[in-house]
């Protein structure tokens, strides 16, 4: 327990990222305000898609990089990511005037790769496996002296992501249930640490695609369980294709998280469409999973009056977004992004 990120660490991270990351709003999700007035459960969406890089990852990346000493900054940074963390590292490095090298799978969405290059980062493409990404980043760090900025298995990153939870409770002290997308686990680790410290009675639930349910399996097994890249690669939610939750995030989940719910590919697409039409928010597939859990799996969630779903990112391929939005209501479609 002593290795878990504390509330003071998250509060210090909030000070570091102030003025860089946006304090995103809690957007009401409701076509008709009458049910809320009648006392029915209310859903608020934490719109992390409104960050400068279109995803929550800026919080952790800037928190970690800004904590480096001057000598480390001068040598530059390296990371591995499927897209959103890479873009966040590129943005943070550019803001701090340092070099950034990004190891990305060749299957990463073009929109995310192009955004990284536009920010001045150098991109190294590798096979879409966790091993290839991590090994290449480690080799580059050793060869060039780069500071490694892990995408999720790092206390500095987790503290930065935890500022999302800090803001949720500050803005809605009555929050009952917080729904958090799970990939490598950095976001849910930080959010759960903040929420548990500030509102112990609130419940924290992780959400992931049923085609990439390693976190669900890990919680059931009592240890981190990995999935093959071929399995996680089936989901449309490219940002949630991490094959195994990180060790430090897993420790936070065991300590703070109340459960994990999975959603289908069709439910993810339907949630993307409803977020756009009803909340006027653009969500990439990974960003829609938490809202999908509320919309289609309410019976599996803890009871409450105020729910918050974290819309973790909005960096969606334009062609995929057009396909999702153009389908008739109720028709989710199949396939990968």
**Best CA proximity match to 117, nearest among 92, 144, 86:** 86
Residues annotated as catalytic (active site), given as ranges: 57, 312
Alpha-carbon span 175 to 36, nearest angstrom: 14
User: What is the residue whose two structure tokens read 């873009």?
Assistant: 87
Using alpha carbons only, give the angle 70, 76, 78 rounded to the nearest 5 degrees. Answer: 135
Q: Could you tell me the CA-to-CA distances from 9 to 13, 161, 168, 226 in Å, in that order?
A: 6, 11, 17, 29
Q: Could you tell me the CA-to-CA distances from 24 to 13, 127, 196 in Å, in that order?
A: 16, 34, 20
Q: 23 near 172, Cβ under 8 Å?
A: no
Going by their DSSP bridges, the two strands 259-263 and 42-47 should be labelled as unpaired
3-state helix/strand/coil string of 157-169: HHHHHHHHHHHHH
Alpha-carbon span 253 to 247, nearest angstrom: 10
Alpha-carbon span 76 to 134, nearest angstrom: 17
253: CB partners within 8 A, 6+ apart: 185, 188, 189, 192, 206, 215, 218, 219, 245
User: What is the residue whose two structure tokens read 């199949």?
Assistant: 334
What is the helix (H) or strand (E) element at residue 13, kind and residue range?
Answer: helix 7-17
The token pair that represents 219 in the structure block: 């919680």
């Amino acid at each position: 327990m002593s290795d878990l990120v504390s509330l003071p660490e998250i509060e210090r991270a909030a000070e570091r990222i102030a003025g860089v990351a946006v304090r995103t709003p809690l957007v009401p999700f409701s076509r008709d305000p009458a049910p809320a007035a009648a006392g029915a459960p209310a859903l608020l969406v934490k719109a992390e898609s409104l960050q400068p890089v279109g995803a929550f990852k800026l919080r952790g990346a800037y928190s970690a990089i800004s904590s480096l000493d001057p000598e480390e900054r001068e040598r530059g940074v390296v990371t591995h990511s499927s897209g959103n963390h890479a873009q966040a590292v590129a943005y943070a490095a550019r803001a701090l005037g340092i070099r950034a090298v990004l190891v990305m799978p060749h299957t990463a969405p073009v929109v995310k790769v192009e955004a990284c290059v536009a920010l001045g980062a150098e991109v190294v493409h590798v096979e879409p496996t966790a091993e290839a990404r991590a090994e290449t980043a480690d080799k580059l760090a050793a060869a060039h002296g780069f500071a490694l900025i892990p995408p999720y298995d790092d206390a500095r990153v987790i503290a930065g992501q935890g500022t999302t939870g800090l803001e949720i409770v500050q803005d809605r002290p009555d929050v009952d249930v917080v729904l958090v997308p799970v990939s490598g686990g950095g976001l849910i680790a930080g959010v759960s640490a903040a929420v548990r410290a500030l509102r112990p009675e609130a419940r924290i639930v992780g959400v992931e695609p049923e085609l990439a349910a390693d976190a669900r399996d890990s919680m059931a097994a009592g240890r981190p369980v990995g999935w093959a890249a071929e399995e996680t690669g089936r989901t449309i939610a490219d940002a949630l294709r991490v094959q195994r939750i990180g060790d430090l995030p897993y420790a936070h989940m065991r300590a703070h998280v109340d459960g994990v719910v999975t959603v289908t590919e069709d439910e993810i697409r339907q949630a993307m469409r409803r977020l756009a039409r009803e909340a006027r928010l653009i969500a990439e597939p990974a960003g829609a999973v938490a809202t999908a859990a509320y919309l289609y799996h309410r019976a599996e969630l803890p009871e409450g009056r105020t729910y918050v779903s974290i819309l973790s990112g909005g960096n969606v391929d334009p062609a995929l977004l057009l396909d999702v939005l153009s389908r008739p209501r109720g028709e989710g479609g199949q396939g990968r992004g």
